[in-house]
Amino acid sequence: MKKVITLFLAAVMLFSCAVSAAAYDNAELFAGLDTEYYTRFKDAGISINVYNWGEYISNGEDDSLDVNKAFEELTGIEVNYTFYATNEELYAKLRAGGASYDVIIPSEYMIARMAKEGMLEEINLDNIPNFANIDPSLVDMPYDPGNKYSVPYTWGTVVLVYNTWLVSEDTDVETWGLLWNEKYKNNILMFNNPRDAYGIALKKIGFELNPENTEQIEKATLALKEQKPVVQAYVMDEIFDKMGAGEAAIAPYYAGDAITMMDENPDLAAAFPREGTNIFVDGMCIPKGAKQKEAAEMYINFMCEPEVGAANCEYIGYSTPNLASMELLDEEITSNPIAYPPVEVIENATYYELLPDELNKAMDDGWKSLLADDENFTFWLVPAILLLSVLSSISIVVRKAIRKRRQYY
Amino acid sequence: MKISRSTAMPYIIWMIIFTVIPLILVTYFAFTDGNGTFTMANISEVKDYVAVIFRSIWLAFVATVICLIIAYPLAYVVSRASEKKQKTYLLLVMLPMWMNFLLRTYAWMTLLENTGIINRLLVMIGIGPFAMINTQGAVVLGMVYNYLPFMILPLYSNMTKIENRLIEAAQDLGAPSRKVFSEVVWPLSLPGVMTGITMVFVPAVSTFIISRMLGGGSNMMIGDLIELQFLGNAYNPNLGAAISLGLMIFILLCMSMLNQFNEEDKEGMII
């Protein structure tokens, strides 16, 4: 009996393998593509290193398209895919050197910063025919004039996520002031990164999203300090857990992730503050020193294929800049006002601009003083303490040695 | 003598590449600015963060003391048990360490939250809810939970070396159990206590993810501060290196003071 079952199981497994192999031919996807273009490097044994955000590509889970695998199958180029958590982490990694990447996907303010510091390779748009699919309203933006360095991958806005169960109906949710509302003391989450937190604080006190001088930053720091008593926690990805469980009532976050949260917890809703919000674009770039520039451009072009772009956006929940992909997406997705907000919201939204070094520094200093109670000490205090520490360490060692020698005699 | 030196070669090479050279680099970065010119500004700037440094040290100190209080009796009981039982106990101590560090800390987050499991149970029996997450207490709890095995293991391995004969001898000579402990067990277990303190205090003082997850981000610790220098907005590895250097020197001081204690209490004892 046992044997029969094993045989049966083996047969089932074989059969299912055959089925999945047949289904996984991607023939349908490849049919409309320019195979001549994509198979140029077929037998060259090339591999490219792609460095992207975590959970930021359709990866074959839940019957989605495995984009990297399809690319490998089509072009014969191997994809080494790794990921990072923040723009700053990506920047630090590239600045430190040692690692070589061919495609990276930073946000627009980081693209501007990297381009300014000469960390990006110019992209040859002739090699990316699918660039024509990109929404003209997202092309040639101030962060990258003429799209010399980047091809938009996704875009989105920052929204206020709130729990309809915990936030009373008469509360005005369409304002950043909601995050300062005493009524929700200890029920408010805030961004745990200075740029986003300062953007909100600046907007709340009536300035622009991009600070113009250190004075504005100081005022924003004061506003954030004033907010601190009502904030439950400063979070990034922990927000999924906390908002999902109803642990907090209000939080600002990225629209794409807000949609993911709302899918998981139907009590959640999102609103656009009328002061105006931040609009961001994550763009595909090629870092300086990339070894396989043409293959990288091919990868970028592949990501702009209508089907691929649609699969990605369906999976990650962010908005697509690809008009051809948008046509393929479900009505349900494209009509979602959080992912594709009305024109007024977009017009009222601002991009982050590249800040001069002194403003970046002022922002970081303010952020640190916000999270760590600031107390003033004199200039020489720490060097003196450290010197004292070293001296006393040495004296202890010396004393020990002397005592040891005494024992000999 | 020759043999022992050549067998240590792999480690020596390892140490030079991965400990000595990075240390030199950290020192170099700490004393230079972005362009590589010598400056004391980074080291001096550490003064702005004295509050953070003291908070880190205080929390790590509290966590170490709690670890010691919990681990000491346990290690003693385990070391006196039969060999078979010892193995089971040790397995139980090690078991949580098989799980990923991040996962364990994340689990505490869901346990401690206001709508978390503990508070829900408390509400069910009519008390609470208590605000547990996002407090310094939660950070200490996370440290104690994560680093407790590092206290138990050295204590245990030290205490198994305390022979029962010595304890019996003390008892035969009429020492009350308090005396047996203070005159025999405690002095003999001191090296284990020192190692345990070192192994808990050093990682606890420089931890960063625990304070972020359980402390709500506003209980910034020195580890978070160093991380911010590298992954923050302004990208200032020089200041990060200076803070790390300060922390290292401070730990060095703590360790040598501990050794000093050890030396004076028990002359000639090897750690």
Q: Which residues contact A136 (CB under 8 A, 6 or more apart)?
A: none
What pLDDT does B37 receive? 87
- Residues A109/A195, Cβ–Cβ less than 8 Å: yes
Phi, psi of A122 (to 5 degrees): -70, 135
Question: Residue A190 CB: number of other CB atoms within 10 A?
Answer: 28
Residue A68 burial by CB count (10 A; 0-12/13-18/19+): exposed, middle or buried? buried
pLDDT band for position B232 (cuts 50, 70, 90): confident
* Cβ distance of B47 and A382 shorter than 8 Å: yes
* SS3 label, residue A268: strand
On the CB side of A203, CA atoms within 13 Å amount to 27
Q: Which of A198-202, A205-209, A373-377, B250-254 has the lowest mean pLDDT?
A: A373-377
- From chain A, the residues in CB contact with B264 under 8 A are none
Pair of tokens at residue A34:
């320019």
Q: How far is CA A237 from CA A234, A253, B50, B146, B266, in A?
A: 10, 10, 29, 22, 50
Can you name the CATH fold of A156-279+358-371?
Answer: D-Maltodextrin-Binding Protein; domain 2 (3.40.190)
* Cβ distance of A232 and B134 shorter than 8 Å: yes
> Residue A150 region, left (φ>0) first, then alpha (ψ -120 to 50), else beta?
beta
What pLDDT does A212 receive? 92
Q: Which of A179-193, A223-237, A385-399, B245-259 has the lowest mean pLDDT?
A: A385-399
* SS3 label, residue B183: helix
Architecture label for domain A2-154+281-343: 3-Layer(aba) Sandwich (3.40)
Q: Please identify among residues 230-259 of chain B the ones whose CB lies closer than 8 Å to any CB of chain A.
A: 230-237, 246, 249-250, 252-253, 256-257, 259
Mutation target to probe the A interface, by most A beta carbons within 10 A, among B231, B248, B250 is B231
Q: Averaged over B139-149, what is the pLDDT?
A: 94
B139/B62 Cα distance (integer angstroms): 11
| Complex ipTM > 0.85 | no
What pLDDT does B261 receive? 63
Residue B44 pLDDT exceeds 60? yes
Phi, psi of A318 (to 5 degrees): -80, 165
DSSP code, position B184:
I
Q: Averaged over B148-170, what is the pLDDT?
A: 93
* SS3 label, residue A97: coil
Q: Averaged over A77-101, what is the pLDDT?
A: 86
Q: How far is CA A98 from CA A54, A196, A289, B176, B254, in A?
A: 21, 29, 11, 64, 35
Pair of tokens at residue A243:
């908002």
Question: Residue A232 CB: number of other CB atoms within 10 A?
Answer: 26
CB proximity A357 to B under 8 Å: yes
Q: Which residue of A has its CA nearest to B119?
A: A247
- Residues A393/B252, Cβ–Cβ less than 8 Å: yes
Smallest CA–CA distance, residue A231 to chain B, in Å, is: 9
A110/A106 Cα distance (integer angstroms): 6
- Residues A288/A121, Cβ–Cβ less than 8 Å: yes
Q: How far is CA B164 from CA A106, A364, B159, B180, in A?
A: 64, 59, 10, 11
On the CB side of A306, CA atoms within 13 Å amount to 15
Q: Averaged over A340-360, what is the pLDDT?
A: 89
Mutation target to probe the B interface, by most B beta carbons within 10 A, among A91, A389, A394 is A389
A84/A70 Cα distance (integer angstroms): 22
Closest CA to B67 of B160, B147, B184, B8: B147
Instruction: Name the residue facing B50 among A246, A360, A375 (closest C-beta).
Output: A375
Can you name the CATH fold of B50-222?
Answer: MetI-like fold (1.10.3720)
Distance of CA A206 to the CA centre of its chain: 27
A102/A104 Cα distance (integer angstroms): 7
Instruction: Name the residue facing A368 among B46, B114, B225 (closest C-beta).
Output: B225
Question: To the nearest whole number, what is the mean pLDDT of chain B?
Answer: 86
Residue A31 pLDDT exceeds 80? no
What pLDDT does A382 receive? 65
Question: Residue B93 CB: number of other CB atoms within 10 A?
Answer: 19
User: What is the DSSP secondary-structure string of A155-182?
Assistant: EEEEEEEEETTTS-TTS--SSGGGGG-G
- Residues A190/A236, Cβ–Cβ less than 8 Å: no
- H or E, element range at A254: strand A250-254
* Cβ distance of A88 and B250 shorter than 8 Å: no
Question: Residue A189 CB: number of other CB atoms within 10 A?
Answer: 26
- Residues A389/B246, Cβ–Cβ less than 8 Å: no
Phi, psi of B84 (to 5 degrees): -65, -45
A148/B1 Cα distance (integer angstroms): 65
Domain A2-154+281-343 matches domain A156-279+358-371 at the CATH topology level: yes
- Cβ-based contacts under 8 A for chains A and B: 127
Q: Please identify among residues 127-156 of chain B the ones whose CB lies closer than 8 Å to any CB of chain A.
A: 131, 133-134
Closest CA to A182 of A231, A251, A246, A239: A231
Mutation target to probe the B interface, by most B beta carbons within 10 A, among A84, A86, A88 is A88
- From chain B, the residues in CB contact with A360 under 8 A are 233-234
Pair of tokens at residue B184:
């025999």
* SS3 label, residue A43: coil
Pair of tokens at residue A58:
């359709």
Mutation target to probe the B interface, by most B beta carbons within 10 A, among A385, A390, A402 is A385
Distance of CA B124 to the CA centre of its chain: 36
What pLDDT does A379 receive? 59
Q: How far is CA A328 from CA A282, A310, B248, in A?
A: 21, 6, 57
Q: Please identify among residues 191-250 of chain A the ones whose CB lies closer than 8 Å to any CB of chain B.
A: 192-195, 228, 231-235, 238, 241-242, 245-247
Q: Averaged over A8-35, what is the pLDDT?
A: 58
Question: To the nearest whole number, what is the mean pLDDT of chain A?
Answer: 85
A240/A2 Cα distance (integer angstroms): 46
Q: Which residues contact A97 (CB under 8 A, 6 or more apart)?
A: none
Single pTM value for the model:
0.79
pLDDT tens by residue, A190-239: 998 888 999 999 999 999 999 999 999 999 999 999 999 899 999 888 88
Q: Which residue of A has its CA nearest to B105?
A: A238
The ranges assigned to domains in chain A are 2-154+281-343, 156-279+358-371
Beta bridge partners of A350: A278
Phi, psi of A325 (to 5 degrees): -65, -40
Residue A353 pLDDT exceeds 70? yes
What pLDDT does B264 receive? 53
Smallest CA–CA distance, residue B221 to chain A, in Å, is: 8
* Cβ distance of B246 and A382 shorter than 8 Å: yes
pLDDT tens by residue, A284-331: 999 998 989 999 999 999 999 999 999 998 888 889 999 999 999 888
User: What is the DSSP secondary-structure string of B2-67?
Assistant: HHHHHHTHHHHHHHIIIIIHHHHHHHHHHTB-TTS-B-SHHHHHGGGGHHHHHHHHHHHHHHHHHH
What pLDDT does B253 receive? 81
Q: Averaged over A51-74, what is the pLDDT?
A: 87
pLDDT tens by residue, B90-134: 999 988 888 888 889 989 988 988 888 888 888 888 887 788 888
What pLDDT does B2 receive? 55
Q: Which residue of B has its CA nearest to A188?
A: B216
Smallest CA–CA distance, residue A263 to chain B, in Å, is: 20
* B129 prior amide bond cis, ω within 30: yes
Q: Averaged over A139-164, what is the pLDDT?
A: 92
